[in-house]
Structure 1
Amino acid sequence: MKHWIKSGSPWIWLTAGSVSISMIAVLGILLLIGWKGLSYFWPTPLQEWHTIDGKVIVGQLYDVEKLHDTNTEKKERLVIKVGNRDINGFDFINIDKDKIKSVSQPVDLAVVDRLQNGKYFGTIIETSSGLELTRLQVEAWVRSEKAKIDLLEQEQRKLYRLLDALPNSGLLSDESKKRETELNEQAETIVNQLSHSYLILQDSQGEKYKLSSDNVVDIWFPNAMSLKEKTMHWVGELYDFVSDNPREANSEGGVFPAIFGTILLVLLMSVIVMPLGVIAAIYLHEYAKPNMLTRLVRIAVINLAGVPSIVYGVFGLGFFVYVVGGTLDQLFYSNELPTPTFGTPGLLWSALTLAILTLPVVIVATEEGLSRIPNSVRHGSLALGATQFETLWKIVLPMASPAIMTGLILAVARAAGEVAPLMLVGVVKLAPSLPVDNVAPYLHLDRKFMHLGYHIYDVGFQSPNVEAARPIVYATAFLLVTVIIGLNLTAIAIRNNLREKYRTLEL
């Protein structure tokens, strides 16, 4: 036993066990987040509960709570998502299981996803034309109406662009005024057409509800769907989640602007931090003499890695936004003042703040890579007549490129999940337009943007109904982890390619 301990085998097993436990814990968390998030898009069956006092409740079973009364008798309470927020005034109700008389799943119950007021649970009575439709006919009607609405909205946008192109109303000629009147009449006609088509719905209490077709996102009958139909619906809902814009205070719809903003921010941060970090590391390791100043700089770089991220946010707000941005506005955008252009939080200042935050990681990783290159390689290059810069550019940096990419991987892993500093320097709850479009200069660094991390915070803690938005929080968190893993895998692939490319230099 003593010989076994002295051999070091226990520490090997202890290390392996610790790594295994850590991996299991990480995978367990990812599976939990993924299950909670992705199951939200599965078409949950609609049930109809009949209580002993004659009430009828239609909804989806959300949870079953275990209760203990004073007699220590176990009871169960059902948490039911009833939808119809605009009618009921709430999303969930609680009812004791012993008060349920019977439960059924009628096949004619439908889930209507609306642009406003969330989902509606009930039955479809008829359309605006007075026709009673079957399930398949309703789904075909929805597809047809969505196609018509898309065409009408495109035509409406064209008309509004033509109206915007007209000169000021005070300077309009008679012909221009006539054209403006025609365009307004056409736009009004489109608005009337959008509101002309509607559905008549009925809830569990027998109350009828009129729903305009332009307020319908999708309709499905979960109790009548086969496994294949449910799977296709789940894939479609997941695609809509990652490709649509958010709505209903971010508690409904998709998160595409947040995905776009997160990836764009990380890319801009990487473009900024990589040259700064690599140049700083090269100077400290290759050119600076080992004196007191160099040691102080290294100590400062290491200590900067432990500074709380919110401090970087305050620095970015005070220096980048107010000082640098305010100066740019006075020099180049004075005609726009007092409305700021760059003197307000935006994409550029967020990228710079994250670049300063992750700079120590890149410097340390690059220095470690440079220190692993033998001095004999440098001496051999110099002996063959190369200058120090040529040696650095053609020999040292290619050999250190895997370590540089490691620094980038660590920087991306930290920056992609940061939220606190971004709340001060550019991220917002809802951005009306993306920072990239087809209008010059195409990349608008002064615009505010959305971020997956802030989206999680906003939906999870600022939503008017946190319980109803909880699945969105899990889905967005899983998506953020997926984005970070995707960015890291891309950087790892580049690093491995560089390692194989320059392996011959190490021989």
Structure 2
Amino acid sequence: MKAWFKSGAPWIWLNAGAVAVCMIMVVGLIGLIAVRGFGHFWPADVAEVVITDEQGNRSVVLGEVVRSQTIPAAVARDAGYYVPENRELVTRFLFKQGNRDQTGRDFAWYTEIGMGEFQYPENAFVIERREWGNFYGYPVKLSQDGRTISAEAPEFWQAVQASVDRSLELHDDIKAIERRRIGRINSDMEQLRLERRMLDLRNVEGLERDQAEARIDQRSSELDAEYQVLRTELDALYASTRRDSLTLRMADGNELEISFATIVRVSQPNAMSVFGKLGQYVVRLGEFMTDDPREANTEGGIFPAIFGTVTMVFVMSIIVTPFGIAAAIYLREYAKQGTMTRIIRISVYNLAGVPSIVYGVFGLGFFVYFLGGSIDRMFYEASLPAPTFGTPGLFWASLTLALLTLPIVIVSTEEGLARIPSTIRQGSLALGATKAETLWKVIVPLATPAMMTGLILAIARAAGEVAPLMLVGVVKLAPTLPIDGNFPFIHMERKIMHLGFHIYDVGFQSPNVEAARPLVYATALVLVLLIVVLNLTAISIRNHLRERYRSASD
């Protein structure tokens, strides 16, 4: 046994076991997030159950059974549920019953006391709406272009789907007009306003002012006329969206008419096959990745958050890479190795351990208020007192993260430079190359894999940071993306959404906890996958460079 311990084999097995446990935990965590998150998009069956209370009154509950749990009878009594005295444990079920505009809540707990058998009627409809969440009920009739189609009619389901498709097309047309064409007009009108204000600030008078005013007035009239045409077109589209409506009967017998202008999807999950549910699952998952959020971020998609995260990481990488590499090259190749250089290195190492919120406070005070305010006073005087760069935005968020990850890039690059044998430098100098030529044509290419390693670590940390971003540019909901079709096309001053902050907001600030819970898991998995994709891209580039210069490094 002593010989076995002295051989070091137990420590090898212990290390392998620790690595295996860590891998199992990571895979298990990702699997849990995937099941809890992406399972939300599977079309769940709609259950109907009759509940009889202690007075003999009957009520009908219709909705999706989210989960069940067994609790002590005393806890149930304290919560206001009726429980017979001879019961010690009670099972309760959480129903997603929707219809929040009618009942005031779309999730409710019901105990098994007095509960009948679950029924799954095939004609139960699930209506996904743009507001007020889902609606669960039974179809009564469809009002379509002045005619009424009964729910018993053979063509009813096809007519409903046709109305849904038409409503979605109209909604896309409205969105395109409002965001693109009217958005461009608003942008041009704002530029004209700023031009007029600059005339006042510069005290332009005489013929020059008259010509400028005439040009501005003419362009403003053209934009007004274009807007009136679009406004008329929008009014017609909005009126057209309200043409069709669907009447449904709720579980309590009351009927409600829903306009197709508010409907996103109509489905009958109890009557769908497995392949039908799989197709709808793919569609709903795709919408989650490509749509905008709605209902306080508890419904809809997360595309603005994905776009903001990726854009911020790319801008951060563009900023941090040259500065980090240049600093490392100077410290390793040019700086005199003395007391001052050692102090600088120690400072860089210490910066890597500074809490991220400190960088956020620094970014808010220095980048946003000082630099941004100065830029506004020098270049955007006409916009004041409304800030342009003197407010949190994409550029300041990226710059703050670049400062946060700068020590990582410096340390990795410097270590890569230090690993290059001195014989390579000496050989290059002996062949007549200058120090600069040796550095940029021999040393830097060989150290490129180490530089990419630093960038990989920087991306992994930056993509998951939340605390500093809350101060320097990330918001709950950004109405416009930082890249669009309006000049100058890339708007670095705009605020953005971020997946990490989106998880925090949905998980801890949402007014509807049960609706937000699965979206927290789904968004967390998307963030993990996004970081993995970014890292794999950087790793593939690093491996390519490593293979390219392997023969030279050997």
State the TM-score, normalized to the length of structure 1.
0.94
Distance 1:300 1:189, change over 3 A: same
Instruction: Find out whether 1:89 has 2:104 as its counterpart.
Output: yes
Within 1, Cα distance between the matches of 2:318 and 2:27?
A: 31
- State yes or no: 1:142 paired with 2:158: no
| Residue identity in the other structure for 2:239 | N
Aligned residue identity for 1:101: G
**Corresponding residue for residue 214 of structure 1:** 261
- Counterpart of 2:552 in structure 1 is 505
* 1:504 Cα deviation after fit: 1.5
Structure 1 residue 68: deviation in Å? 2.0
Return the offset for 1:161. Answer: 7.5
Gaps of 5+ in 2: 75-85, 191-216
Q: 1:58 to 1:163 in 2, by over 3 A?
A: same
Gaps (5+ residues) in structure 1? Answer: none
Contact 1:243/1:254 (CA < 8 Å) preserved in 2?
yes
Distance 1:470 1:391 in 2: 57
Q: Which of 60, 67, 74 is matched with 1:63 structurally? A: 67
Instruction: Identify if the C-alpha distance between structure 1 residues 341 and 159 changes in structure 2 by more than 3 Å, giving closer, same or farther.
Output: closer
SS of 2:113 mapped into structure 1: helix
Displacement after TM superposition at 1:191 (Å): 2.7
- Aligned match of 1:425: 472
**Residues 34 and 332 of structure 1, relative CA distance in 2, 3 Å threshold:** same
Compared with structure 1, are the counterparts of its residues 200 and 315 closer, same or farther at alpha carbon in structure 2 (3 Å cutoff)?
A: same
Do structure 1's residue 131 and structure 2's residue 149 form an aligned pair? yes
Q: Is the 8 A contact 2:125 2:139 kept in 1?
A: yes
The alignment status of 1:301 with 2:323, answered yes or no, reads: no
Contact 1:36–1:471 (CA under 8 A) maintained in structure 2: yes
CA distance in structure 2 between the partners assigned to 1:415 and 1:180 by the alignment: 42
* Equivalent AA in structure 2 for residue 318 of structure 1: G
2:39 match: 39
Matches within 5 A, 1:407-486: 407-486=454-533
Q: Is 1:24 paired with 2:24?
A: yes
1:225 paired with 2:284, answer no
* Equivalent-residue separation in structure 1 for 2:180 and 2:427 (angstroms): 68
- The correspondence for 1:99, drawn from 90, 101, 114, is 114
Query: Does the 8 Å CA contact 2:185/2:223 hold for their aligned counterparts?
Result: no
Q: Percent identity?
A: 50
- The 1:355/1:217 distance shift into structure 2, 3 A limit, reads same
Equivalent residue number for residue 208 of structure 2: none
Rate the CA distance shift 1:101–1:389 in 2: closer, same or farther, 3 A: same
- Quote how far apart the aligned CAs of 1:299 are: 0.8
Q: In the superposition, relative to structure 1, how do residues 183 and 282 fare at CA in structure 2: closer, same or farther (>3 Å)? A: closer
The one-character-per-residue Cα deviations of 1:228-261 (angstroms, maximum 9, x if unpaired) are: 0100100000000000001111110000000000
The change in CA–CA distance for 1:123 and 1:15 in structure 2 (over 3 A counts) is: same
Other-structure match for 1:7: 7
Q: Is the 8 A contact 1:44 1:60 kept in 2?
A: yes
* CA distance in structure 1 between the partners assigned to 2:392 and 2:137 by the alignment: 45
Instruction: Select which of 443, 450, 454 maps to 1:403.
Output: 450
**Aligned-partner SS, 1:106:** coil
- The one-letter code sitting in structure 2 at the alignment partner of 1:363 is I
Q: Does the CA-based 8 Å contact 1:163-1:183 persist in structure 2? A: no
For residue 183 of structure 1, report the CA deviation from its aligned partner. 6.4
Inter-partner Cα distance in structure 2 for 1:424 and 1:161 = 27
Query: Do the aligned partners of 1:269 and 1:354 also contact (CA within 8 Å) in 2?
Result: yes
Shift of residue 86, structure 1, vs aligned partner:
1.0
- Contact 2:352–2:408 at 8 Å: present in 1 too? yes
Measured after TM superposition, the shift of residue 125 of structure 1 is 1.5
Q: Deviations over 1:348-385 (max 9, x none)?
A: 10001000101111111111111111000000001101
Secondary structure of 1:131 counterpart: strand
Q: Distance in 1 between matches of 2:439 and 2:164?
A: 64
Matched positions, count: 507
Contact 1:49 1:103 in 2 (8 A): yes
- Counterpart of 2:19, as a letter, is V
CA positional deviation for 1:172: 12
Report Cα offsets for 1:167-211 as digits up to 9, x if no partner: 99x999999999987765554333322222211122111111111
Q: What is residue 381 of structure 1 aligned with on the other side?
A: 428
Change (3 A) 1:186 1:159: farther
Q: Distance in 2 between matches of 1:127 and 1:382?
A: 85
User: Would you identify which runs of 4 or more consecutive aligned residues in structure 1 move more than 6 Å?
Assistant: 155-159, 161-168, 170-183
TM-score (norm 2): 0.87
For the residues of structure 1 that align with 2:343 and 2:512, how far apart are their CA atoms? Answer: 51
Greater displacement, 109-118 / 148-157: 148-157
Q: 1:441 to 1:493 in 2, by over 3 A?
A: same
| Contact map agreement 1:270 1:408 (CA 8 A) in 2 | yes
- Cα 1:274–1:145 shift into 2, 3 Å: same
Corresponding residue of 1:76: 91
1:130/1:258 Cα in 2 relative to 1: closer, same or farther (>3 Å)?
same
SS in 2 for 1:191: helix
Show CA shifts across 1:54-77 (max 9, x none): 110001111111112366733211
SS in 2 for 1:100: coil
Residue type at the aligned position of 1:237: R
Q: 1:493 to 1:153 in 2, by over 3 A?
A: closer
Alpha-carbon separation, structure 1, partners of 2:475 and 2:232: 37
Say if 1:198 and 1:211, in contact at 8 Å, map to a contact too: yes
Letter in 1 for 2:23: M
Separation in 2, partners of 1:18, 1:162:
58
Aligned to 2:283: 236
- In structure 1, give the amino acid aligned to 2:472: V
Deviation at 1:222, TM superposition (A): 0.6
Letter in 1 for 2:404: L
Distance of aligned partners of 1:282 and 1:159 in 2 relative to their CA distance in 1, 3 Å threshold: closer
How far 1:442 sits from its partner (Å)?
1.1
Separation of aligned partners in 1, 2:547 and 2:87: 67
